[in-house]
Each structure stands twice: as structure tokens, then as C-alpha cells.
A = this chain, B = another copy of it.
Amino acid sequence: MEEALSGQLSRTVLVRIRSALPSLRPSERAIAELVLADPSRAATMSIGDLAGQGGTSTTSVVRFYKKVGYSGYSDLRLDLARETARESLANNVPAGVYEDINTSDSLRDIVSKIAFNETMSIADTAQVLDVDKLAQAVQAISTSRRTDIFGVGAGGLVGEDLQQKLHRIGLTSFSWSDPHAALASAALLDGDGVAVAVSHSGTTVDTVDFLLAAKAAGATTIAVTNHADSALGRTADIVLSTAARETTFRSGAMGSRIAQMMVVDCLFVGVAQHSHEASVAALQKTHAAVQGRKLLRGNASA
């Protein structure tokens, strides 16, 4: 009978009604049974409708929901809607979304499976992603003078995406798709440079060579891969792990691409935030630096 029941903590509307049943008057009970019989329909009816269907009056409906513990009809109604929504979701997981896509699937099945697969790839990656490593990567990129990015195939697109993003916030970066150009550029990096390699398997020779060259040149190396213990993962200073559920259908590489993209997004937002803080900090420093001189002048130029 407490107050707290309305709103979020209310998963028990139906339970409450059921347990209140014995203490209800006949006409109130008629309403209760109507509600229990089809809660989702009840949620859409007005007090008047409900009274009509139950062969009773609006007053009895009011008495009913007060006894069940609600202070207003819309509270009951909303909880009813919420509860039924939950239930319909529970047994709504489309069958077979775990399976790989096969030729007998309808387009609807395909959409479900892809959505499920990609969703899970993101969720799993969020889980697996090491925040400390991410922080190191953010730090490295934020403070680097230049960032070289390399990936082949799908990884190349992800790399390009990162490059576009970094460029937009004023950081110097290059995305290479040609192995030779990438190698050449990596070799020219120095201690202030960063190299990022994107590869699902972590076994592509070109990608590993790229990181090795960057490392030899003294740069900080970052790998985005599903397999931290691959050649690529072992080479990199910082490994950002994805956790893609790879479907094999026509090697669409969908899960891995989505997961890589998600990691890149995190990296980008981290860097954007970091450099934002850095510039604020820099501003404060310069501000402090001129502060001592201000007393003498009317206005100091920054």
C-alpha cells in the first residue's frame, strides 16, 4: 500500500491485482478479472469502457485501482502497458537468430539475423574492450604529431573513417590502403608518431609489416583486432580487442567491421574529449601566465 510502487518499481501490477482479489467486492472483482484476462487491452480502455464491459460503474473501477494501490488511473494504465510490453518481448526473440544465414531465410529473417549479430558484436566488444588500453591509445594519438593508419579490405574502410574523424578535429593523420605507401610512411614516423593497424584476423602480412616498420622507426603502435594473440596483436604496443560474431555467409565480415567501427568511434570520442580538455587546460595556463601582469594594465592581450 506504499507509495513507491508507481513508476519504475512496478513490475508487479498483475501480481498485486491477483493478491488483492480476495479483499475486493464483487463489482470490483469483476473489473479485476477483466484486467487480468487481457491486461494489454485493459491498458487501452478508459474507466468508462472498463466499467461498461464489467457491467458496473466508473466509481467501482476507481475503488478497484485505489485498493490495488494506485493513486490515479493513468498510473495503473501505464504500469499495465509496461508490464505487457515486457512480456511480449520475452517470448519475442525470433527463433534461430544465432544461426548463420542460409538460403532458405526470408528477407525478414535476414534482417533479424544481421541486426542481432551486429548488435551482439557491439555489445560484446564493449564488454571486452580494455578501457586502460583505450586510454593509452587516446593519450598516444592526442599527443602525437602524426597518426598513420593502415588496414586492408574492410579494415581499410574503418581506417579511412578514423582518418576522416581525426582530421575533423584538427589532428594530422593519414589512412593508407596501398601497402607500399603505408610502409614508406610508417618508416618515416618517429617517437612523436602513432601507427594504427586495423585487421580482424591480425594475420595479414602487410598489416604486420606496417606496424613493425612503425615500431622500428620509434612510433607508438596500436592494433585493432579480434585476435590479441595474433602476430599483429603481439607486435603492437597497445591492442584494442574487438569481439565480433563472425557470420560466414559469403564472408560478409559484417560483425567485425561493425565492431571495429565501434572501437574507432570510442577512440575518436576519447581523443576529441581529451584534446578539448587539453585546450581548456592550455587556455587556463596561458590565462594564469598573464594574470600577474594584469594589475598594471587595464587590459592584457592574450
Which residue on chain B has the smallest CB distance to residue A132?
Answer: B107
Number of interface residues of A (CB under 8 A): 69
Give chain B residues whose Cβ lies under 8 Å from the Cβ of A249. Answer: 269, 272
Quick check: A168 and B126 within 8 Å, CB to CB?
Answer: no
Residue of A85, A112, A252 most packed against chain B (CB within 10 A):
A85
A84 to chain B, nearest CB (A): 7
CB proximity to B under 8 Å, residues A257-288: 257-258, 261-262, 265-266, 268-270, 272-273, 276-277, 280
Interface string of A62-90 (1 = CB under 8 A from B): 00000000000011011001111110111
Q: How far is the CB of A239 from chain B (nearest CB, A)?
A: 16
Docked-complex contact A88 and B8, CB < 8 angstroms: yes
Chain B residues in 8 Å Cβ range of A122: 115, 118-119, 122
Q: Which of A75, A119, A280 has the most CB of B within 10 A?
A: A119
A30-38, A153-161, A199-207 - the one binding chain B: A153-161
Are A89 and B91 closer than 8 Å at their CB atoms?
no
Whether A107 contacts B134 in the complex (CB less than 8 A), given A44-B7, A261-B258, comes out as: yes
Please encode chain A, from 110 to 132, with 1 for each CB lying within 8 Å of some chain B CB and 0 for all others.
11101100110011011001010
Determine if A160 and B161 form an interchain contact, defined as CB atoms under 8 angstroms apart.
Answer: no
Q: Is the CB of B110 within 8 A of A266?
A: yes
List B contacts of A82 (CB < 8 A). Answer: 81-82, 84-85
| A12 interface hit (Cβ, 8 Å) | no
Q: With A78-B43, A107-B135, A261-B261 in contact, is A157–B168 under 8 Å at CB? A: no
A138 at the B interface (CB under 8 A): yes
Is the Cβ of A111 less than 8 Å from the Cβ of B86? no
Bound form: Cα–Cα A300–B81 in Å: 56
**Complex Cα–Cα for A43 and B79 (A):** 11
Contacts of A40 in B (CB 8 A): 7-8
- Complex Cα distance, B135 from A240, in Å, reads 37
Cβ distance A168 to chain B, nearest Cβ, rounded Å: 7
Rounded to whole angstroms, the CA-CA distance of A250 and B115 in the bound complex is 26
Nearest B residue to A161 by beta-carbon distance? B157
What residues on B are CB-neighbors of A270 within 8 Å? 107, 110
Q: Does the CB pair A262–B101 fall under 8 Å?
A: no
A residues sitting closer than 8 Å to B (CB atoms) are 6-8, 40, 43-44, 74-75, 77-78, 81-86, 88-91, 101, 103, 105, 107-108, 110-112, 114-115, 118-119, 122-123, 125-126, 129, 131, 134-135, 138, 153-154, 157, 160-161, 164-165, 168-169, 249-252, 254, 257-258, 261-262, 265-266, 268-270, 272-273, 276-277, 280
